[in-house]
Structure 1
């Protein structure tokens, strides 16, 4: 886990919401690594600031997301998992939670393999 937490920001989510969102992102990242997770490399969680907005990102070194599916992740019932292994609701619920408080969820490919999911949060002025 890496962090760049200065300056400290207040975000419009409570700890339980952040915990639930991170759990869903970490669960997806672990599933993306498959049965040989140790060989696929680490899951990296980064907390920081991008363009004035607090950002939490989760990166994995799994197989990545098929090109035509990247823009649809976060829609209900869209998944990269095999039938019976996931319902496609995890990212949808995270996206809904983040958007309700003015934030944004983005999914992008990592090179040479893997995926980065970022939660860009709207800061709350003190």
Structure 2
């Protein structure tokens, strides 16, 4: 599994502690230095089953300063994916990426469900 996170984010730290407490080994990927590509984001989105808007960090300063709340509805999905790939601070985090699914944001029940799907 891969944990795409921001090491200074309190929610990301909580998610990592949660995984550690369950003995889940993950590859850590800093979203600031290794932002997901358009292709990765498209794959994550398709495998998550979530609306694309859930991938945006709507509480982030960059999202607000770019006034994306008003702009996103006029953008195509491809334009939104391109935008997300430009800066990791636009992407909601943490992302837990497994072979069978992707979780966006830290919700214990969703993460537990993914872990159960990933179990051998």
TM-score by length of 2: 0.29
More RCO (CA 8 Å, sep 6+)? 2
TM-score by length of 1: 0.29
Q: Which has the higher strand share?
A: 1
